Structure 1
Amino acid sequence: MDLQEDGRSALIGLYLERRSDLVRFFTVRLRSPAAAEDLVQDIYVRLSGMDQPVEIQNPVAYLYRLGSNLMLDKLRGERRTAHRDGAWLDSQTTRVGIHEISAEPSAEAAVAARQRLALLTQALTELSPQTQRVFRMHKFEGLSHPQVAAELGISRSAVEKHMMAALKHLAARLR
């Protein structure tokens, strides 16, 4: 066994002796026995992964300092995560007073919209094929009345009449 292994073994032996003290110490600081257990386990992982020999004047103080540094790193990471998540939430919601209003529709609104869409789709099938084409080209494809007329080879007035008939029929069916 070389000097590096001796130093690491001595530190791990000291860690094992002081493990319960470390857990108590960090439980008070983190206010969570589970978080303290995780942190003390991280100390062991760090000790067991040391590659280079380290000359340590006070090994007990080193264990507590190592744990404190790991704890601070963890807390900083949690703070960054909370800040990032808060910024994302702020960008995705609108606040009115203390209430958050989501940009997403509620489940009820989504179901109602799907039902209206199903009714609209059914009502469209009841139109004549030419009226359906005119309506789809204008409303779904975004073509203007003159563009629809040119595409279908009909007059602009005919497009307007098809649109009026379609809208009248849909309004009656969706009431």
Structure 2
Amino acid sequence: MFRLIRYLLAIMESIVQDIINGNIESFKMVYQQYHTKLYFYVLKCTHSVYIAEETVQLTFILLWEKREKLSTNFNISTQIFRIGKSVMTDLLRKQQVRNRHTQTLVKDTTTWHVETDISVKEELKRVYNSIEQLSPIRKNVFKLSRFEGLPHKEIARQLSISPKTVENHIVRAIRQLKNSLLLLLLLVIY
């Protein structure tokens, strides 16, 4: 029994030494033996397929890249899971930071949208108030043109006026609206 344990320890030490020496076949064998176990361990801890996949990939990349730092005093599974736990912790920290930044961004964006919506509503209110100050016929012609989307000929037919008169009312309405909105803008600025 003691011999068997010593034999298994010698094999484990040999595998670690082979990986340290850059033996790709030993590395592949270790990967085949432990990648699924590590994946399910991380999945059980995090409940995240993404983090489990990333952890396994990064763990084996680090294992290979830093193979000279492996210890023959510990079996390979202990070292793999130690690296994996460290990688998993780093990924969870990064995810928390991303989540905080996303929450801040969403909060800021929501605040910006609310402020923008209020600003747009105020501007629209000013425009509607300016439209309401137009003379009754000009207001009616403007609304039929811009809100109803009717062509000049149809407005002329409905109101029993000439298409040229419709055009004149729209041009004057736009000019009057520009002037009143410009005046409002100047009052807001100063």
TM-score, normalised on structure 2?
Answer: 0.48
Corresponding residue SS for 2:183: helix
Which aligned pairs between 1:160-175 and structure 2 lie closer than 5 A?
none
Structure exhibiting the larger radius of gyration computed from Cα positions = 2
Does the 8 A contact of 1:125 with 1:132 survive in 2?
A: no
Counterparts of 2:19 and 2:80, CA distance in 1: 22
Counterparts of 2:103 and 2:184, CA distance in 1: 39
5+ long unaligned stretches in structure 1:
95-100, 145-175
Q: Check if 1:22 corresponds to 2:38.
A: yes
Counterparts of 1:35 and 1:2, CA distance in 2: 26
- Paired position in structure 1 for 2:103: 86
Counterparts of 2:187 and 2:181, CA distance in 1: 9
Q: Check if 1:62 corresponds to 2:91.
A: no
- Paired position in structure 1 for 2:183: 138
1:93 and 1:2, CA in 2 relative to 1: closer, same or farther beyond 3 A? closer
- Paired position in structure 2 for 1:105: 117
Counterparts of 1:33 and 1:137, CA distance in 2: 58
Which one has a larger percent strand, Structure 1 or Structure 2?
1
Counterparts of 1:91 and 1:9, CA distance in 2: 52
How far off its partner does 1:2 sit?
10
Counterparts of 1:143 and 1:69, CA distance in 2: 62
Deviation track 1:21-48 (CA, whole Å, cap 9, x = no partner) reads 1122112111234532332122223334
Does the 8 A contact of 1:15 with 1:63 survive in 2?
A: no
1:20 and 1:55, CA in 2 relative to 1: closer, same or farther beyond 3 A? closer
- Matched residues, number: 129
CA RMSD of superposed structures (Å): 4.3
Does the 8 A contact of 1:19 with 1:40 survive in 2?
A: yes
- Paired position in structure 1 for 2:47: 31
Counterparts of 1:128 and 1:47, CA distance in 2: 72
Q: Alignment partner for residue 125 of structure 1, among 151, 168, 171? A: 171
Which one has a larger percent helix, Structure 1 or Structure 2?
2
1:125 and 1:12, CA in 2 relative to 1: closer, same or farther beyond 3 A? same
Q: Alignment partner for residue 53 of structure 1, among 54, 58, 68? A: 68
5+ long unaligned stretches in structure 2:
1-17, 132-141, 147-168
1:135 and 1:72, CA in 2 relative to 1: closer, same or farther beyond 3 A? same
Deviation track 1:131-166 (CA, whole Å, cap 9, x = no partner) reads 6775465345x289xxxxxxxxxxxxxxxxxxxxxx
1:31 and 1:80, CA in 2 relative to 1: closer, same or farther beyond 3 A? same
